[in-house]
Amino acid sequence: MWNTALWVAQGLVAALMALAGAAKLLVSREKLAPKMHWAATWPRERIRLLGLAEVLGAVGLVAPQATGIAPLLTPLAALCLAVLMAGAIQTHRRLGEGFAPPAVVAALCLAIAAGRLFVGVQA
């Protein structure tokens, strides 16, 4: 049961991160800015770097655990994404925007990391 719950959480977070990251990689800053207000003040290269980190984090949430190759990378990727989400929370708070979505994603990432590291759910 825990393994299934972790896989569902991993899939959900990976999908969210992959979509958000791909948008940051592929969409111009001008088109991102109306929905992602912070993007108006960030250099394009920094937005792309954030997008790349999100896409790689999404892959890291699923691939190591699914293949059995270096499965310790899955909780590590979850922890790294939680750190990214902590930054997102701070950015949204600074701009006076709601920060519940990145807070929920961060909590899911921490649960994934804990589940894969400490609960011992490896399969």
| Reported pTM | 0.90
Q: What are phi and psi of 82, to 5 degrees?
A: -60, -40
Q: Which of 79, 116, 101, 117 is nearest to 5 (CA)?
A: 116
Mean pLDDT, rounded, of the chain: 93
**Which of the pair, 67 or 123, is modelled with greater confidence?**
67
What was the pLDDT predicted at 53?
Answer: 97
Query: What are the tens digits of pLDDT across the range 64-94?
Result: 999 999 999 999 999 999 999 999 999 999 9
Quote the CA–CA distance of 13 and 81 in Å, as a whole number.
Answer: 9
Q: Which of 114, 74, 71, 84 is nearest to 17 (CA)?
A: 84
Domain ranges of the chain: 2-117
Given pLDDT bands bounded at 50, 70 and 90, which one contains residue 2? Answer: confident
| pLDDT at 121 exceeding the cut of 80 | no
Quote the CA–CA distance of 86 and 57 in Å, as a whole number.
Answer: 14
Query: What are the tens digits of pLDDT across the range 24-54?
Result: 999 999 999 898 989 988 999 999 999 999 9
Q: What is the DSSP string of 15-51?
A: HHHHHHHHHHHHS-HHHHTTTSGGGGGS-HHHHHHHH
